[in-house]
């Protein structure tokens, strides 16, 4: 189950990438806490994480300002992630133990029910575990560390795909091709399947950001109210 801070990040990242929150928009702790009906603690945590990912520029003790995300820089990072993770899938196919492969297969099977139930939150949680297992399966700490750093930095961009048709189903199908290749110890096929998966996501992210910038000067509809979040 995603934390309150993670949910706030997902909502705000969607608004930043979708153009609802333009570069320079202020994100004040007090205002966000009132909007999401939570204390300032998860809001502060969310803003810190968004600052680390380059979505906002932090203002000490106040909040943050939406950053002007450079499309060229983002494209560079997405391309690097795409190639690194494809290489990790290739190595995992060659190096994973039988137990590790079984763990990957079970994770993929567990997500099938989540696709049918359209449980996006839990799917994204298991999706991270899926990619982490492949990353660990390289048995190369340097390579896996580089990839995890990039995935953490880019996760908000990749997750901001609200309204994408058959999003979970397509992701699950692409994961299936990766799993099949890894279980068969086919490094070349694993590389190609993972590269195809990440390249599709990267293209959607970049297209969405470009579109939002083209539409920024158009009249805006009123932003829908955020879902009520409960602190625990």
38 lies in the same domain as 79: no
| pLDDT, position 6 | 87
- Where does the pLDDT of residue 108 fall: very low under 50, low under 70, confident under 90, or very high at 90 and above? very high
pLDDT tier at 185 (50, 70, 90 boundaries)? very high
Q: What is the mean pLDDT of residues 18-29?
A: 89
Whether the per-residue pLDDT at 32 is higher than 60: the answer is: yes
pLDDT-based confidence at residue 205 (cuts at 50, 70, 90): confident
Highest mean pLDDT range out of 11-20, 64-73, 105-114, 211-220? 105-114
Domain containing 20: what range? 4-69
**199 and 130 housed in the same domain:** yes
The per-residue pLDDT for 188 is 98
Please check whether residue 159 lies inside any domain of the structure.
yes
Based on the domain organization, do 23 and 60 belong to the same domain? yes
Residue 59, SS3 per DSSP = strand
Q: Mean pLDDT highest for which of 4-13, 156-165, 170-179, 220-229?
A: 170-179
The reported pLDDT for the residue numbered 198 is 95
The helix or strand, by DSSP H or E, that contains position 53, with its residue range, turns out to be none
Q: Are residues 153 and 52 in the same domain?
A: no
232 is a domain residue: no
If asked whether residues 30 and 133 sit together in one domain, one would say no
Query: Is 190 found in the same domain as 165?
Result: yes
Is residue 222 in a domain?
no
Residue 144, domain member (yes or no): yes
Q: Is residue 174 one of the residues assigned to a domain? A: yes
- The pLDDT score that the predictor gives to residue 229 is 54
One domain for residues 201 and 146:
yes
Q: Provide the pLDDT for residue 145.
A: 93
Indicate if 76 and 157 belong to the same structural domain.
yes
The residue ranges of DSSP E strands in the chain, in sequence order, are: 26-28, 56-59, 63-66
pTM of the model: 0.79
The residue-averaged pLDDT of 101-116 equals 95
Nearest to 28 by CA among 43, 12, 7: 43
| Same domain? 24 vs 81 | no
More confident residue, 93 or 117: 93
pLDDT value at position 133? 97
**Could you tell me if residue 220 is inside a domain?**
no
Q: Is 32 domain-assigned?
A: yes
DSSP 56: E
Judged by DSSP in three states, 38 sits in coil
Q: What is the mean pLDDT of residues 195-222?
A: 78
Domain assignment present for residue 223? The answer is no
Residue 224, pLDDT score: 45
Same domain as 52, residue 93: no
Q: What is the pLDDT of residues 114-166, one digit of tens each?
A: 998 888 889 988 999 999 999 999 999 999 999 999 998 888 888 766 556 68
User: What is the per-residue pLDDT for 215?
Assistant: 66
Total domains in the fold of the chain: 2
State whether residue 208 is helix, strand or coil: helix
Share of the chain above pLDDT 90, in %: 61
Do 53 and 112 fall within a single domain? no
Q: What is the CATH number of the domain that holds 28?
A: 1.10.10.10
- Reply yes or no on whether the pLDDT at 176 is more than 50: yes
Please check whether residues 37 and 129 belong to one and the same domain: no
Work out the widest C-alpha separation in the chain, in whole angstroms: 56
In what order do the strands lie in the sheet containing 63-66?
Answer: 26-28, 63-66, 56-59
Mean pLDDT of all residues belonging to the chain: 88
């Amino acid at each position: 189950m995603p934390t309150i801070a993670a949910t706030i990040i997902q909502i705000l990242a969607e608004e930043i990438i979708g153009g609802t929150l333009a570069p320079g928009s202020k994100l004040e702790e007090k205002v966000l806490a009132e909007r999401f009906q939570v204390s300032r603690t998860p809001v502060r945590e969310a803003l810190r994480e968004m600052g680390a990912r380059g979505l906002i520029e932090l203002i000490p003790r106040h909040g943050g300002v939406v950053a002007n995300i450079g499309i060229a820089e983002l494209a560079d990072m997405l391309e690097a992630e795409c190639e690194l993770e494809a290489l990790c899938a290739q190595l995992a196919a060659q190096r994973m133990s039988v137990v590790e492969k079984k763990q990957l297969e079970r994770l993929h099977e567990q997500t099938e029910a989540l696709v049918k139930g359209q449980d996006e939150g839990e799917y994204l949680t298991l999706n991270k575990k899926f990619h982490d297992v492949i990353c660990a399966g390289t048995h190369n700490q340097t390579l896996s560390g580089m990839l995890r750093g990039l995935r953490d930095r880019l996760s908000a961009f990749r997750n901001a795909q609200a309204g994408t048709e058959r999003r979970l189903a397509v992701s699950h199908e692409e994961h299936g091709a990766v799993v099949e290749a890894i279980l068969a110890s086919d490094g070349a096929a694993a590389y190609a399947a993972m590269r195809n998966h990440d390249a599709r996501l990267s293209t959607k992210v970049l297209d969405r950001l470009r579109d939002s910038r083209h539409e920024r000067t158009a009249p805006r509809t009123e932003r829908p109210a955020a879902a009520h979040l409960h602190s625990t």
